[in-house]
Amino acid sequence: MSPKISLRGVTKSFGPKKVLQGIDLDVAKGESMVVIGGSGTGKSVLLKCILGLMRPDAGSIKIDDQETVALADGGRADVMRKFGMLFQGGALFDSLRVWENVAFGPIQSDGMKPDEAREVAIAKLGNVGLGPEIGELFPSELSGGMQKRVALARAIAREPEIIFFDEPTTGLDPIMADVINDLIVKCVSDLGATAVSITHDMASARKIGHRIAMLYEGKLIWQGRTADIDRSGDAHVDQFIHGRAEGPIRMQVRKL
Amino acid sequence: MSIPLVTLLGRMTLAFLEAIGSVSSFALQAIRCAFTPPWYRQQILRQIMEIGYYSLPVVGLTAVFTGMVLALQSYTGFARFSAESAIPNVVVVSLTRELGPVLASLMVAGRVGAAMAAEIGTMRVTEQIDALTTLSTNPFKYLVVPRLIAGIVTLPILVLIADIIGVLGGFLVGVYKLDFNDQAYLRNTIDFLQFEDVFSGLVKAAVFGFLISLMGCYHGYTSKGGAQGVGTATTNAVVSASALILTFNYFITEAFFAR
């Protein structure tokens, strides 16, 4: 069976800085892939390339066997319909109420009537453990953990086939981080969706990922089953998963 | 010494041309999006309220005092030549052709252009614009086009109101301070006013409305670097919109009135 997401030879540079240097990655349908790596190693760039928010310099990105790199507006919108995305900071629209944020995709992109979309939004808020009363609040009135939950509800509101998670637990306390991890596992499993997450939180990676790939200096230096990461045999991976200061990995100074 | 100077000039020229190219490309993309569905009517109405309705107090205040000052200044100059009767004519022509559209647009550029750049800039740095894209919503159609349409539609209405309020300001000073006969003042104003005076002002207003929205959206959309980037975008939006208003004012005036 062909993979849901397939990347071949994806490269991306910003001026002289080569951020992605020939990425090959396959994600099977229903699989949860986690890409780990230190800050500034190109994880976000990789995610943005797959999402179509950034165009790679070279290489192929296929979704359901359809090449997406050079898609024009119409075709891109069709592919986007398959996607849901949880942004690192939530990226909730601060001028809209919580329920309007969750119902944004159904109303604006799918043409659902506001009353119907509101019910969908309240149901999705329920899926992430939030009551209907939260729907009337504005994002600025919510805590960081609550905002992440709302952002997750928005990401699953259109029942996407593929969900992307950008640093889903960053900035949260360990308990709330675990709650978010559980919700991610539950939502992905309920929808039967394929998931791609980027994180440097190993607890999160172990919990939400079926497979893990490690990005270092623009290349995927290791990928395999989550259960195998502790015996990867790669010094870079070992240093990263144990969070050691000493080892072959040198910290990135400049932001990409 | 001459080589670094030439290099500097070359770099500045390239940067200037690059900026023109970037703004033109942004404007063309926005115009292309404006002619293809979907159109977000609620967003357009919201922006019309934001640009038009909420700008009325500041535009009205500017217009009334401009009309009043114009009447006073004209009087002190014209009295030397016993030409006081021309004051209503000067007030109405100055306001409809130049001061109404230019001053109202500059005030709106300060109020609305800055707000647009700040709002869209914040959306950019907090990834809300990327979020729109992932929700299958074209950010140009959702954010930029409604603001451009609202700018083009609302500025002429604002300027028309500014013209009326400005003339009223001149009338108040003329009648209550300079002892003009109220009927004669109004008669002079109406008789001297030509369709072209008002029409040219409204055309200017529509162009200025487009420029204000374009600069607000462009600088916000392309902002980067967090809070500092949004601050810079806001300043650039106001400065560039003001400079473009004054530049285009000359060319539109020449197109209408040059012999």
Q: Is residue B244 part of a domain?
A: yes
In a domain, B249, yes or no: yes
Phi, psi of A36 (to 5 degrees): -105, 165
Domain membership of residue B177 (yes or no) is yes
How does pLDDT run across A125-156, given as a tens digit for each residue?
998 889 999 999 999 999 988 999 999 999 99
Confidence tier at A78 by pLDDT (50, 70, 90): confident
What pLDDT, on the 0 to 100 scale, is given for residue A112?
Answer: 92
pLDDT at B135: 92
Which residues in chain A touch residue B33, judged by CB atoms under 8 angstroms apart?
Answer: none
pLDDT in tens, B195-251: 999 999 999 999 999 999 999 999 999 998 888 999 999 999 999 999 999 999 999
Q: How confident is the model at residue A209 (pLDDT cuts 50, 70, 90)?
A: very high
> Does any domain span residue B8?
no
Of B127, B135, B136, the CB nearest to A89: B127
Give the minimum alpha-carbon distance from B128 to chain A in angstroms, rounded to a whole number: 5
Say whether pLDDT at A107 is over 70: yes
Reference A149, options A173, A170, A176, A174; nearest CA is A176
What is the residue range of B85's domain? 40-257
> How many CB pairs below 8 A link A and B?
54
Q: Test B128 with A94 for CB contact under 8 angstroms.
A: yes
> Could you tell me which of B218, B245, B258 has the C-alpha nearest to residue B234?
B218
Report residue B39 as tokens: 């159109």
CB A128 within 8 A of CB A190: no
Identity (one letter) of the amino acid at A75? Answer: G
Q: What percent of chain B has pLDDT over 90?
A: 88
| Total count of domains within chain B | 1
Tell me, yes or no, whether B24 lies in a domain.
no
Q: Which of A125, A129, A181, A113 is nearest to A155 (CA)?
A: A125
**Any idea of the CA torsion for B222, B224, B230, B233, to the nearest 10 degrees?**
-40
Which residues from A are below 8 Å from B138, CB to CB?
73, 77
The DSSP output letter for A252 is P
Give the separation between CA A100 and CA A85, rounded to whole angstroms: 17
pLDDT confidence band for B2 (50 / 70 / 90)? low
Cβ contact, residue pair B127, A105, below 8 Å:
no
* Residue B13 belongs to a domain: no
Which residues of chain B are within 8 Å of residue A91 when distances are taken between CB atoms? 126-128, 130-131
**CA-based R_g, chain A, Å:** 18
Give the bridge partners for A67, in sequence order.
Answer: A62
pLDDT tier at A254, thresholds 50, 70, 90: low
The closest alpha carbon to A56, from A83, A19, A88, belongs to: A19
Whole-complex ipTM:
0.89
The tens digit of pLDDT for each residue in B111-127 reads 999 999 999 999 999 99
- Give me A171's structure tokens: 């900035």
User: Is residue B33, in this structure, part of any structural domain at all?
Assistant: no
Mean pLDDT (whole number) for B144-168: 97
DSSP for A79-136, written as a single string = HHTTEEEE-TT----TTS-HHHHHTHIIIIIT---HHHHHHHHHHHHHHTT--GGGGG
Q: How many CA atoms lie within 13 A of A57 on its CB side?
A: 13
Lowest mean pLDDT among B36-45, B49-58, B72-81, B109-118: B72-81
**Across the interface, do A105 and B135 touch by the CB < 8 Å criterion?**
yes
Interface touch B131/A87, C-beta < 8 Å? yes
Kindly state whether residue B117 falls inside one of the protein's structural domains.
yes
- Cβ atoms of residues A160 and A84 within 8 Å: yes
Residue B16: exposure state from Cβ atoms within 10 A (0-12, 13-18, ≥19):
exposed
Alpha carbon distance A65, A3 (integer Å): 8
Contact between B133 and A52 using a beta-carbon 8 Å cutoff: yes
Which of A138, A84, A72, A134 lies closest to A109 in space, CA to CA? A84
- Contact (CB, 8 A) for A97 and A135: yes
CB-based contact B136 A109, cutoff 8 Å: yes
* Strand ordering across the sheet containing A5-14: A17-27, A5-14, A58-63, A66-67
- Residue A223 makes CB contacts below 8 A (sequence gap 6+) with A25, A211, A212, A213, A214
CA of B130, closest CA in chain A: separation in Å?
Answer: 7
Radius of gyration from C-alpha coordinates of chain B: 21
Q: How confident is the model at residue B1 (pLDDT cuts 50, 70, 90)?
A: low
Q: What is the average per-residue pLDDT within A8-18?
A: 93
The residue of chain B nearest to residue A95, with distances taken between CA atoms, is B119
